[in-house]
Structure 1
Amino acid sequence: MKITRTGGIAALALVGALALTSCAANETPSGDDSEAPESTLSGTFNGAGSSAQGAAQEAWIAAFQIANPKVTINYDPTGSGAGRETFIAGGSDWAGSDSALNDDELAGTFAACAADTKAIDLPTYISPIAVVFNVEGVDELNLDPTTLARIFKGEITNWNDPAIAAINEGTTFPDLAITAVHRSDDSGTTKNFSDYLNQVVPEIWDQKPADAFPFQSGEGAAKTSGVIDAVKNGVGTIGYADASAAGDLGTAKLKVGDEFVAFTPEAAAAVVAESPLVEGREGNDLAFKLNRTTTDPSHYPLVLVSYSIVCQEYADPAKGEFVKAYIGYITSEEGQQVAADAAGSAPLSSDLSAKVAAVVATIK
């Protein structure tokens, strides 16, 4: 999939600002500073990975290419696991991933990076994961973590199960089999979904979170779009996907503390703000260890932090120059607003944005 110059009005509105931003990374303006100097960036650059980032990447790329007309960017939303593999092998210039590099990946080498250097994780996109459903006659659905885990583990198999009825007073559910749709590909969205359930109800969701769905239950579908299509076109279906893709499907409220909470970008961002970074990594690596055990109903713990995985130093300096400018833009205030408008994501906090900007400034 090649995402090129398609995008919305919000992206176009940023052209002037982006021209200044991208050039600032590469040259000092001279002469009449009332006009943006021409961008010096050129070439074709490739990214791959997170399908959750798809809508945001489309908007980011549209705006960046307008400000940098000699640049062509291809982003292939193959899924987080495939994206990391492609980047590690040198097939892309950066990866989008809803899960950070793991210890085994960090112990290896990265083909695009300069010798004896490592890749790092930079938070790029914060978004709720929606539990989407399609059940005729049911417009609202409450789920607590126990019931949600048992549905996707295959222990609750019918919509009229007493456990569902007990937390949805006043709703009549049909005598209808549940089809629980999970990601069939290696997916950071799956890892975040599993991490949430493993943290909150580990006695039920007893498998270590990973990009692969851990149980032999339900129905698999590839990528975010595949899950959404399967839920939309099925009968009695339920699935999980980045909230930007939910569309007109029903979305469940999750029990947090004593209340059932609908997803919002702000409630998702609140969880990230109160979570620590993963320990034992290089100082430039900003991977989060999300704490999903909150009982504060102003928080929505089923959240993902999607990363841009980049080299600290590239073997090809031209690629380093591009990545520095592009990742600098998408994690800037302007870029984060474009993602919020296009995908409903939560902008990085000012504190986190400053930390990311400091790291981006060191990319070579």
Structure 2
Amino acid sequence: MKLQRHGALAALAISATLAMAACGSDNTGSGGGSKSTAKAPSTECAKGSLTSQGSTAQKNAMDQWIKAYQTKCSGAQITYDGTGSGAGIQAFTSGTADFAGSDSALADGAEQKAADKRCTGGEALDLPMVTGPIAVVYHVQGVQDLQFKPATLAKIFAGKVKTWDDPAIKADNPKATLPSTPIQAVHRSESSGTSDNFTTYLSKTAGADWTYGHAKEWKAPGGVGAKGSDGVSAKVKQTAGTIAYDEWSYATTNSLDIAKIYNGAGQYTELTAEAAGKTVEGAKVVGQGDNLKLDIDYNTKVAGAYPIVLVTYEIACSKGNDSGKLDLLKSFLTYVSSDDGQAALTQQGYAPLPKPVQTKVQGAIKGLA
């Protein structure tokens, strides 16, 4: 199913509020300290406690949601720890997290089966909740407005392009004055859905220049690892000569230089909400039933589309949830998938769900047992 989305409206909303994200959020993540304007949940409150962890990409959004929900629903205690997508899935599978956040859907096969075992009488569902682009960020003294083709990025992150004045980078940036500074490519040090999405992008667009497949764990040689989206942002901000992949909200909050990316339409495209929205519009639902896995076309040929986009999923049991926590789980997820909850994302530099997917997610949440 192709997503028929009011992408332009969402894009305008994000663009209008991006300055707020750049000044930070009211959470304790990398955001900083501006005041929240998120609407209180319009859903019915529930009492109890929930423990969750996973994707750092959605941590700013999750902190905002939790604060808004708990402000209205004083009998609820919800925690979310940004440990990374891989750790979140492991915690969910082992039963130490009531739900998990992951920037990649559960992989077919062993990972899905292991998560399903947690769900007595049911299955582990991938519920898309947060959409947002991955920025390619860099810190090169005296250089701005860089742009890259996928093959060039692949060579850089594979350690084959070692200095900023390499001919491959010059070919992409003929007007730039590039220094001979060594390149330090920064990747996530822990199991990360952002790494999985970024390496999937390289696998599908860079051809023979990327031979490391895609995975939550970084496979290519060289470079340096940093933990979490905030760790990657800090490393790039503090270290000249660096380049990394990072969630747009973190890149914006930390005022990092963001590269234009060459898309399937043959254009170097600036990362904007509208450009990212054009790629999300082309995503397809490939999961079955209430398992709403999405397939993103990283080779999109839509004019003006920014091609590196991720979707963060909340992973929960269709059946077999803790009966003492089920009401709160459904109430909280109903809020975050609501119009109010999704509208709060624009304050953090994310994008609301496409309306058809939002409707499907809300239906799946109602059926949790």
Per the normalisation by structure 1, the TM-score is 0.88
Equivalent runs, 1:186-197 vs 2, <5 Å? 186-197=191-202
Aligned residues: 336
Distance 1:106 1:161 in 2: 42
Aligned residue type for 2:260 = K
Cα deviation for residue 7 of structure 1 reads: 7.9
Asked if residue 108 in structure 1 is aligned to residue 114 in structure 2, the reply is: yes
The correspondence for 1:276, drawn from 284, 295, 301, is: 284
1:357 maps to which residue? 362
Distance 1:315 1:309 in 2: 12
The correspondence for 1:91, drawn from 96, 111, 117, is: 96
Equivalent runs, 1:50-89 vs 2, <5 Å? 50-89=55-94
Residues 267-276 or 222-231, more deviating: 267-276
Residues 306-315 or 182-191, more deviating: 306-315
2:349 maps to which residue? 344
- Contact 1:126/1:268 (8 A) holds in 2: no
- Contact 1:127/1:243 (8 A) holds in 2: yes
Cα deviation for residue 331 of structure 1 reads: 1.4
Aligned residue type for 1:311 = C
User: Counterpart of 2:235 in 1: which secondary structure?
Assistant: helix
Cα deviation for residue 345 of structure 1 reads: 0.8
Distance 1:3 1:157 in 2: 36
Aligned residue type for 2:275 = A
Tell me: higher relative CO, structure 1 or 2? Use CA pairs within 8 A at least 6 residues apart.
Answer: 2
* Matched-pair identity in %: 37
2:36 maps to which residue? 9
Q: Which runs of no fewer than 5 residues in structure 1 stay unpaired?
A: 24-38
Asked if residue 253 in structure 1 is aligned to residue 260 in structure 2, the reply is: yes
User: Counterpart of 2:106 in 1: which secondary structure?
Assistant: coil
Distance 2:118 2:49 in 1: 15
Per-residue CA deviation, residues 139-198 of structure 1 (Å, 9 max, x unaligned), is: 211111111110000010000112111221221011100000001111000000001110
Aligned residue type for 2:229 = T
Equivalent runs, 1:210-225 vs 2, <5 Å? 210-225=215-230
Q: Which runs of no fewer than 5 residues in structure 2 stay unpaired?
A: 1-26
- Contact 1:3/1:61 (8 A) holds in 2: no
The correspondence for 1:135, drawn from 90, 115, 140, is: 140
Asked if residue 308 in structure 1 is aligned to residue 314 in structure 2, the reply is: yes
User: Counterpart of 2:74 in 1: which secondary structure?
Assistant: coil
- Contact 1:89/1:111 (8 A) holds in 2: no
- Contact 1:126/1:269 (8 A) holds in 2: no
2:242 maps to which residue? 237
Per-residue CA deviation, residues 36-81 of structure 1 (Å, 9 max, x unaligned), is: xxx3x21221110000001101111110111111111110000000
Distance 1:338 1:112 in 2: 31
Cα deviation for residue 314 of structure 1 reads: 3.4
1:335 maps to which residue? 341
Per the normalisation by structure 2, the TM-score is 0.87
Distance 1:236 1:356 in 2: 42
- Contact 2:267/2:304 (8 A) holds in 1: no
- Contact 1:101/1:121 (8 A) holds in 2: yes
Residues 77-86 or 41-50, more deviating: 41-50
Aligned residue type for 1:222 = K
Cα deviation for residue 109 of structure 1 reads: 4.8
Cα deviation for residue 351 of structure 1 reads: 1.2
- Contact 1:314/1:320 (8 A) holds in 2: no
